[in-house]
Amino acid sequence: MIFNQLGETLAQNHFATVLFGDQTTYTDVRRALAYRWFIDPVERALFPEQDHARHGRTIAAQLRGAQERDSTGPRVQALVDTLRRASQESAQIWSDHPVAGLHRAPKRIEHPRLGVLDLHGQSLLDPDQSQLLTVFTAPVGSGSLGKLLHLVGQPA
C-alpha cells in the first residue's frame, strides 16, 4: 500500500485490497486514515479492541509528524482541527503530543472471515517524506501466513 502524509491510500495491490478492502474509494476527509480511525467505527473493526489505544496513538503521532513537516499545509491543519473537535479521544491523544518512533510493533488485523492475523509492516519513506510504501508480511511458518495464503487463494 502507498500512503501520503495524511494517511490517504494512494495505491494498493490486490493482496492489500483483499485484506483491508479498497481504501482508494474514500472521498473528501474520509480519505484520511486518522479521520476514519477516530470517527468511523468500521475502521476500528479491522483491529482487535485491545490494540485500539496503541493504534490510535500511532495514528495521531503520524499525523503530528505530517503537521510538523507541513506546518502551513491547510489540509493537514483542517484534519487536525476536525479531529480535535469531533473526537474526544483524538483531542486527548493530541494534547499528549505523541511521537512516532522508527520501530513499529507488529500489527494485528481482525479479518472478518479469518480472525486475527499477526503481521509485520515494513515501511519505506520517500526522501521528502510525503509518501510511504508499506508492505505487510506474516512470519514464515505462522498461522497468519497460512491464513493470508488462504485469503488470496494460494496453497499453504
Q: pLDDT at residue 118 above 70? A: yes
pLDDT recorded at residue 78: 95
Which position has the higher pLDDT, 151 or 77? 77
Segments making up each domain of the chain, as ranges? 2-151
* pLDDT in the model for residue 92: 96
Count of C-beta atoms within a 10 Å radius of residue 24? 15
Grid coordinates in use for 28?
473528501
Residues of the chain with pLDDT > 90, as a percent, come to: 61
- Please tell me the distance from the alpha carbon of residue 94 to that of residue 87, in angstroms, as a whole number: 10
Amino acid letter for position 67: Q
**Domain 2-151 is found in CATH 3.40.50.720:** no
pLDDT band at 10 (very low <50, low <70, confident <90, very high): very high
pLDDT tens digits along 81-112: 999 999 999 999 999 987 776 556 688 999 98
Start-to-end CA distance of the chain, whole Å, equals: 23
Average pLDDT, the chain: 89
